[in-house]
Amino acid sequence: MAGASTTPRAGILVTGTEVLTGIISDRNGPWVSVRLRELGVDAEMIEIVGDRPEDLLGALERMRAAGVSLIVTSGGLGPTADDLTADVVGRFCGREMVLDEPLAGRIEAIVKPMMARWPNADPEAMLRANRKQAVIPAGATVLEPVGTAPGLVVAPADGHVGAGAPTVVVLPGPPRELQPMWQTAVATDAFSAAIAGATEYRREIVRLYGLPEAEIAATLEAAAAGGLSLEALEITTCLRRGEIEIATRYEPSAQAQYDAMLAFVRERHGRMLFSADGSTIDEQVAALLTGEGVAGGVLGAGGGAGGGAAGTLAVAESCTAGLLAARLTDRPGASGYFLGGGVVYSNEAKTLLAGVPESLIASVGAVSVEVAEALAEGVAGRLSADYGIGITGIAGPGGGSEDKPVGLVCISVYSARDGRRITRSPRMPGGRADIRDRSVTVALHLLRRLLLGGADAAAAGADPLAG
């Protein structure tokens, strides 16, 4: 690929025995990787190591040997004795450690008011522990603390290891500290120098729903066989939460190739391609409910769109028990269209909160198409919402039968405006968490279709939402 060899490459080093041993999961590596790509810098690797100094130093040396020009570390800047990153990075860059007195003063000014929250703590021990955080490699650029830990940008000392040695950006572990400090780091001269020569890339994401990953492989094969030139496109496909994502990176000169590839995929996969602009199903549903429509997206079959669908939503969830509501309200501003709903785990809750008749549950069972429809319609009525969603299913591992196996989930979306509804009862693969998570994704896709004007009467045999 033209220009690839000039792209600066980076290593991301996540430190922490608690991360390495699986006690907590890392969110920083992927986040920094995305930020680097936006700057035209490829992450060569993300490596997670423990807290011992030899682990850190070993990883830094492996990254230097792999030829990266920038290393970003996260973690190991806390007040406890196992927080050693600054010290090890200083050694790696050939710089002595010095106490930065003004910085120590600024950290103390941050810590002192916090101590009032912990009346039983020993203030001297806390200040001593926090003072350690002001010992930094000589000549490093300090990134002011967002919590109590300062970050650092450390270039190799003159004459140390040679001109090719990487610059190291040292950031704290908590994402809410790391993320704002990243912006500060990027603005420093030392950082700019380390990524000089980054190539400009474009990056596009296309999302499809309702087909297997192998078929995308076949489509890309057919595109190449049909004479389309894909060489200048770096294409990655992946299956996520039941959706397929095609991420493509390319230099601006390859725009025509990208457009041709996208047209080919759109031609072959029609309405299964629900997002051509990188928008997520969550974003599309929110845009439809607020009346903003689906900007730049693909509206799919069923016509209708935009402002006409705007309205309010209520949900009644049994097996997903709040996951759909929680996902809908991840987004700030959800209160503009989301009213609430019922977590209807018990049969009584289905009746009391969504008005499902007891007799219906007794005759067809709580996990049934009929109850899903009654939940959707009932909760919309109860909260006077324009749209309602009902979910009832068997998340397992227990509770399944031959007739209604684990993974069977009945999902219904309903429009109180005109009585349209779409109902499906797919059998979800995977364990309890997968089944619950996938059910929420299917509900969002059904809602999108309803908001775009679809209804069950129009559904065809080869329905991508059927399976």
Q: Is 231 among the residues that bind its own copies (CB under 8 A)?
A: no
User: Is 238 or 301 the residue whose CB approaches its own copies more closely?
Assistant: 238
Query: Residue 340's closest CA among 373, 383, 401?
Result: 383
- Is residue 460 involved in binding its own copies (CB under 8 A)? no
- Cα atoms in the Cβ-side hemisphere of radius 13 Å centred on 313: 27
C-alpha to C-alpha distance for 340 and 389, rounded to whole angstroms: 11
Residue 263 sits at φ, ψ, to 5 deg, of -60, -40
- The interface mask with its own copies, positions 15-44, x = CB under 8 A, is -xxxxxxxxxxxx-xxx-xx--x-----xx
Interface segment toward its own copies; rule CB under 8 A; list 45-53, 162-170, 287-295, 298-306? 45-53
Convert residues 157-196 into a mask of x (bound to its own copies by CB under 8 A) and - (unbound): -----------------x-x--------------------
> Would you count residue 383 as binding its own copies (CB under 8 A)?
yes
How far apart are CB 106 and its own copies at their closest, in Å?
17
* Cβ closest to its own copies, residue 6 vs residue 21: 21
Return the residue of 103, 136, 143, 315 that touches its own copies, per CB under 8 A. 315
211 vs 305, which CB is nearer to its own copies? 211
Please answer whether residues 238 and 45 qualify as being in contact, where contact means their C-beta atoms are separated by less than 8 angstroms.
no
113 binds its own copies per the rule CB under 8 A? no
31 contacts 173 by C-beta, under 8 angstroms: no
Residue 80 in the binding site for its own copies (CB under 8 A):
yes
Number of residues binding to its own copies, judged by CB under 8 A: 118
Q: Is 370 in the site for its own copies (CB under 8 A)?
A: no
Cβ–Cβ < 8 Å for 381, 417? no
Q: Which is nearer to its own copies, 62 or 266 (CB)?
A: 62
Beta bridge partners, 334, equal none
Name the minimum Å distance from CB 138 to its own copies.
26
DSSP letters of 384-442? T-SEEEEEEE--SSSS--SSS-TTBEEEEEEETTT--EEEE--B--SSHHHHHHHHHHH
d(CA 209, CA 97): 54
How far is residue 63's CA from residue 78's CA, in Å, rounded to a whole number?
24
Contact 318, 365 (CB under 8 A): no
Q: Which of residues 400-429 bind its own copies (CB under 8 A)?
A: 429
Choose, by CB under 8 A, the member of 113, 119, 226, 419 that binds its own copies: 119
- Name the residue nearer to its own copies (CB basis): 140 or 361: 361
